Amino acid sequence: MNRARQSPLNTLAAHAALITWTAVALFPVTVIVVNSLKTRKAIFREPLALPSPESFSLIGYRTVMKQGDFLQYFQNSMIVTVASLALILLFGAMAAFALSEYRFRGNTLMGLYLALGIMIPIRIGTVAILELMVQTGLVNTLAALILVYTAQGLPLAVFILSEFMRQVSDDLKNAGRIDGLSEYTIFFKLVLPLVRPAMATVAVFNMIPIWNDLWFPLILAPGEATKTLTLGSQVFIGQFVTDWNAVLSALSLAILPVLALYVIFSRQLIRGITSGAVK
Amino acid sequence: MAFRPRLHVVVFLAPAVLVYTAVMIWPLFNTLRLSLYTAGEGGRAFAGLANFATLFGDPRWSAAFWNALGNNLWFFVVHMAVQNPIGIALAAILSQPRLRFAALYRSAIFIPTILSFVIVGFAWKLILSPIWGIAPGMLDAVGLKALFAPWLGREEYALTTLALISVWQFVGIPMMLIYAALLSIPEEILEAGEVDGITGRAAFFRIKLPLILPAIGIISILTFVGNFNAFDLIYAAQGALAGPNFATDILGTFLYRTFFGFQLQLGDPHMGAAIASAMFAIILAGVCLYLFAIQSRMRRYQF
């Protein structure tokens, strides 16, 4: 059928180009993780070599575990990410249902209002957000971060979820109404399970920016007890600039959780992007 | 049904609208309002456009502002000129029918995008560091050692180097979006072109490229918004002072320093609000330009 577009030479060139860029993309990560497992001497003498029995060392990881409170940071990041995602999904789905299901005055206007935040970054309002958090006593609490990330994630969540909810069959909902189900039951028991794939897409889209954000933890919750993993590793590395073993190990420890999440969710993420959810 | 209770509509909408209004929209407008005040003796005093007069009139402030804006523009230009063409090229290669390992390449190339700026900034700082010597060592292996310089430490190279690091990190996003757009082009159109003798490169430039222009438009505006509120990578790699000698200072780091203070200078929320308002105006202008001038004129094809 499309033989004209596929000569073996073309295929070879395609693979060569893709392998080159894949190498460029993976090289820095590999160098960091590999060298974190070596002694200081081996790091400098042969930075591109794999750790051998003589050069293998976990000293960097020991320093990190002793000095930094990485478990605490990791826990904070988990709490913030999971709580924000839960609120984005719950509130976003509820609002999306209201916008797509009911006709009421101001429906379109409300949709536009909620969509404003897709293009305008929330960081612009940081000065007043900090003031708000100071007034409400939420500075240096994880709740401040959760609120900010929820607000940041809602616009796109409402937009994507309402697109999907329009496709849920009216007959199903009306059958529920005839059976005497309340609107709440229809939403939670009938509609939500049907849009689960879209919810997963929204969750994956929001997860990575929230986990990786440096700006709001730095400004709203820089205290030791509320540091997220991103901020914690930034501060830690800043303090240990000259201890290469520790820096490389801290970087590797920061890479691993994200990489694990990616391996679990990459299918969902890529399907979400390529299914045109970002249009 | 004569009467339907509408309470549930309110209940469904309320949580999202409340959080969104209280934490996003209200602070946004409050920030714009705060830019019109200064800290006086007995608290906050209305000052009209005085902060903006300082920002654009005072030689020290205006020099810093235009420096940050110019750097930010260059940052954006590098992304548009390098990231998007590479992303389009990778997508075009990936979308070849029956290419083996396509899913594997796609996932691997997307990995840098999921890493935090902190990791990316420090990892590249170490790799480019003359102390460690990975970059000079590798250049030496291909006989180009003379080209090496401490790129992040030189005023003339540092910003471009950081922009290229950011390109390296985010090339996965244009790649994915263009890839999706290319896959949605129906086979019949390409076959019709083939019948007319348009294949290979000509097919890409004359058939596919016009069809994916809307996707390229979306990527451009996403890049624009992302670049003009960027902060994390510069902060992680160069610190709040965006050295050397402010050569890598962009609007995000300038806002952070002004608002939060650094070293001996105290933070000034009102000047910070003024800078944030300027950023808001720039981003709004870009988004409006896109929505009204570009997107509405772009031809969309229905398959």
- Structure ipTM: 0.86
Taking CB atoms and an 8 Å cutoff, what residues of chain A touch B19?
Answer: 87, 91, 147, 150-151, 154
Specify if A201 maps to a domain: yes
Q: What is the mean pLDDT of residues B295-300?
A: 68
Asked whether the beta carbons of B192 and B60 are under 8 A apart, the reply is: no
Q: What is the mean pLDDT of residues A218-232?
A: 91
Specify if A273 maps to a domain: no
Q: Residue A277: which pLDDT band, with cuts at 50, 70 and 90?
A: very low
Question: What pLDDT was estimated at residue B302?
Answer: 58
Joined together, the tokens standing for residue B250 give 């962009």
Same domain as A123, residue A47: no
- pLDDT tens digit string along A66-112? 876 888 998 999 999 999 999 999 999 999 999 998 888 888 899 99
Asked whether the beta carbons of B269 and A127 are under 8 A apart, the reply is: yes
Residue numbers of the domain that contains B158: 50-295
Closest CA to A127 of B259, B213, B115: B259
Same domain as A74, residue A110: yes
Give how far Cα B289 sits from Cα of A113, A116, B277, B292, Å: 19, 15, 18, 6
Question: What pLDDT was estimated at residue A279?
Answer: 44
- pLDDT tens digit string along B35-85? 998 887 767 888 888 889 888 988 889 999 999 999 999 999 999 999 999
Do B19 and A29 make contact, defined as CB atoms within 8 angstroms?
no
Query: Is the backbone peptide bond immediately before A217 cis, with ω within 30 degrees of 0?
Result: no
Do A125 and B284 make contact, defined as CB atoms within 8 angstroms?
no
- pLDDT tens digit string along A136-159? 999 999 999 999 999 999 999 999
Phi and psi at residue A146, in whole multiples of 5°? -60, -45
Question: What pLDDT was estimated at residue B6?
Answer: 80
Of B30-34, B50-54, B238-242, the one with minimum mean pLDDT is: B238-242
Asked whether the beta carbons of A198 and A159 are under 8 A apart, the reply is: no
Question: What pLDDT was estimated at residue B201?
Answer: 79
Specify if A262 maps to a domain: no
β-strand partners of B262: B265
Residue A15, CB-side half-sphere exposure with 13 Å CA sphere? 10
Specify if B54 maps to a domain: yes
Joined together, the tokens standing for residue A69 give 């409170």
Look at residue B39 and give its three-state secondary structure: strand
Joined together, the tokens standing for residue A211 give 């986990």
Give how far Cα A133 sits from Cα of A126, A177, B232, B245, Å: 10, 43, 22, 34
Q: What is the mean pLDDT of residues A45-52?
A: 78
Asked whether the beta carbons of B283 and B225 are under 8 A apart, the reply is: yes
Do A11 and B235 make contact, defined as CB atoms within 8 angstroms?
no
Indicate the residue of A24, A129, A251 with minimum beta-carbon distance to B27. A129
Higher per-residue pLDDT: B301 or B206: B206
Average pLDDT of chain A, as a whole number? 86
A4 has a pLDDT exceeding 60: no
- The residue with tokens 């820089």 is A222
B195 touches chain A (CB under 8 A): no
Alpha-carbon distance of A90 to B255, in angstroms, equals: 33
Residue of A nearest to B222 (CA): A119
Do A273 and B176 make contact, defined as CB atoms within 8 angstroms?
yes
Specify if B302 maps to a domain: no
Asked whether the beta carbons of A237 and B117 are under 8 A apart, the reply is: no
Q: Residue B26: which pLDDT band, with cuts at 50, 70 and 90?
A: very high
Residue B53, CB-side half-sphere exposure with 13 Å CA sphere? 7
Do B107 and A230 make contact, defined as CB atoms within 8 angstroms?
no
Same domain as A214, residue A112: yes
A261 has a pLDDT exceeding 50: yes
Q: Residue B267: which pLDDT band, with cuts at 50, 70 and 90?
A: confident
Residue type, A119: M
Same domain as A144, residue A50: no
How large a percentage of chain B has pLDDT more than 70? 95
Specify if A254 maps to a domain: no
β-strand partners of B37: B46
Mutation for A interface: B115, B227, B259, most A CBs within 10 A: B115
CB atoms within 10 A of CB A177: 14
If you count residue pairs, one on A and one on B, with CB atoms under 8 Å apart, how many are there?
A: 273
Residue numbers of the domain that contains A175: 68-239
Question: What pLDDT was estimated at residue B303?
Answer: 56
